[in-house]
């Protein structure tokens, strides 16, 4: 009987394996795996899907329409969608070669080591799409980890690099370290770039105490402003950083107020400041809020509190925002790092001891 092709859209590699085994037993072979995701911030807010093309020597009996619901419940994979497709033989052979080269799989020693370092299954799925992955998995760790770094660099380079311009607003939930991050940016402009920036501190309907920022601006020689009407006009050659009050992540009225305040300020960039030590669900909520506020950049703070820096890849690669810098320490004198990629890459395994890594790789 001629070979039949089936397409599955599933949520993970494990689900794909489960679907194939439950529906076809050992008769199916994977032809290709491709990640399917949305555009823009939707790529981050929604979990990516995997499109799996499988070849089966003998097609299963068709399932009556009235029993499809019961079958899906029995399979325990209601997210999966099966579509029979016919492909030209030449195209099928090409896909076969690509699948053989990809070495797709989530249970290798290398994958376990990367997961021990905090890298998520979603990021691993992206890396496993590269044709060289099968070869990398067979290398010793001393060779494979630098190769993984090269793949992460390739992914990182796909992030759009948006310019800051001369009017940059810092927004973020209360307690995220927003004002401290803005002060660090001021210091970088003064000491590293020889610039003379200005800072605008807005209150809106809520108090936005500015003592620390005003003192810091005075020490740096930066212009400190408390009213929007006193701000220099756009295009005057000096960067204006705008500090708005913090907000609650679920306080819709405060988000509306922030958005309304940003509109007449003619901002060229908007950076959302996120505490990297937050639970991943809260970080995702921050990105959702950032989308509502039309943010273009992201600043991560409290990096010194992270146990595994590997979790950062999930947010750096899928947020759609340009990373501005990373901040460690909760005070103005703390370190910050503008070379975001190198900083995260060099610390990805810093929280994983050699014994833990070896155990993960040999498990």
Domain ranges in the chain with CATH number 3.30.70: 1-101
The arithmetic mean of pLDDT across residues 285-310, rounded, is: 93
Tokens representing 146?
A: 């630098």
Given pLDDT bands bounded at 50, 70 and 90, which one contains residue 71?
very low
The pLDDT value given to residue 5: 75
The arithmetic mean of pLDDT across residues 133-162, rounded, is: 90
Identify which of 167, 182, 120 has the alpha carbon closest to the alpha carbon of residue 311: 120
Reported pTM: 0.67
The fold for domain 1-101 equals Alpha-Beta Plaits (3.30.70)
Please, what CATH class does the domain formed by 167-347 belong to?
alpha beta
Query: What are the angstrom distances between the C-alpha of 174 and each of 97, 156, 217, 296, 302?
Result: 52, 29, 21, 20, 14
The arithmetic mean of pLDDT across residues 268-289, rounded, is: 95
Query: What are the angstrom distances between the C-alpha of 98 and each of 40, 57, 103, 151?
Result: 28, 19, 9, 17
3-state secondary structure at position 271: strand
Mean pLDDT for the chain? 78
**In this predicted model, what pLDDT tens digit does every residue of 205-253 receive, in sequence order?**
776 666 789 999 999 999 999 998 888 877 667 899 999 999 999 999 9
Using the predicted structure, report yes or no on whether residue 58 has a pLDDT greater than 50: yes
Strands 49-56 and 4-10: antiparallel
Between residues 112 and 8, the one the model is more confident about: 112
Between residues 23 and 251, the one the model is more confident about: 251
Q: How much helix, strand and coil, in percent to the nearest 5, is found in the chain? A: 45, 20, 35
- Residues 6 or more apart in contact with residue 11 via CB below 8 angstroms: 47, 49, 50, 79
Of 47-51, 75-79, 271-275, the range with the lowest mean pLDDT is 75-79
């Amino acid at each position: 009987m001629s070979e039949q092709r089936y397409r599955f859209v599933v949520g993970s590699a494990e689900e794909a394996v489960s679907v194939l085994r439950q529906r076809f037993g050992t008769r199916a072979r994977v032809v290709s795996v491709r990640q399917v995701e949305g555009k823009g911030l939707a790529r981050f807010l929604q979990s990516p899907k995997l499109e799996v093309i499988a070849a089966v020597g003998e097609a299963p009996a068709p399932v009556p329409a009235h029993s499809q619901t019961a079958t899906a419940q029995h399979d325990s994979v209601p997210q999966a969608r099966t579509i029979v497709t016919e492909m030209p033989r030449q195209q099928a052979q090409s896909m076969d070669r690509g699948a053989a080269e990809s070495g797709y799989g989530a249970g290798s020693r290398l994958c376990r080591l990367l997961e021990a370092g905090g890298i998520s299954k979603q990021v691993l799925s992206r890396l496993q799409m590269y044709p060289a992955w099968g070869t990398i998995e067979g290398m010793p760790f001393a060779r494979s980890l630098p190769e993984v770094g090269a793949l992460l660099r390739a992914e990182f380079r796909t992030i759009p690099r948006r310019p800051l311009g001369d009017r940059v607003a810092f927004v973020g939930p209360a307690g995220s370290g927003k004002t401290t991050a803005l002060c660090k940016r001021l210091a970088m402009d003064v000491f590293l770039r020889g610039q003379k920036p200005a800072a605008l501190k807005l209150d809106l309907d809520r108090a936005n105490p500015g003592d620390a920022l005003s003192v810091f601006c005075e020490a740096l020689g930066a212009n400190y402003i408390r009213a929007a009407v006193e701000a220099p006009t756009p295009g005057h050659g000096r960067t204006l950083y705008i500090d708005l009050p913090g907000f609650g992540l679920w306080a819709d009225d405060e988000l509306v107020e922030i958005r309304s305040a940003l509109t007449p300020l003619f901002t060229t960039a908007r950076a959302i400041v996120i505490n990297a030590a937050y639970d991943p669900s809260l970080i995702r909520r921050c990105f959702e809020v950032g989308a509502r506020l039309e943010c273009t950049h992201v600043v991560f703070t409290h990096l010194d509190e992270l146990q595994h820096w590997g979790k950062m890849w999930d947010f750096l690669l899928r947020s759609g925002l340009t990373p501005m810098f990373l901040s460690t320490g909760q005070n103005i004198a703390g370190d910050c790092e503008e070379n975001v990629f190198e900083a995260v890459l060099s610390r990805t395994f810093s929280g994983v001891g050699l014994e833990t890594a070896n155990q993960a790789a040999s498990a």
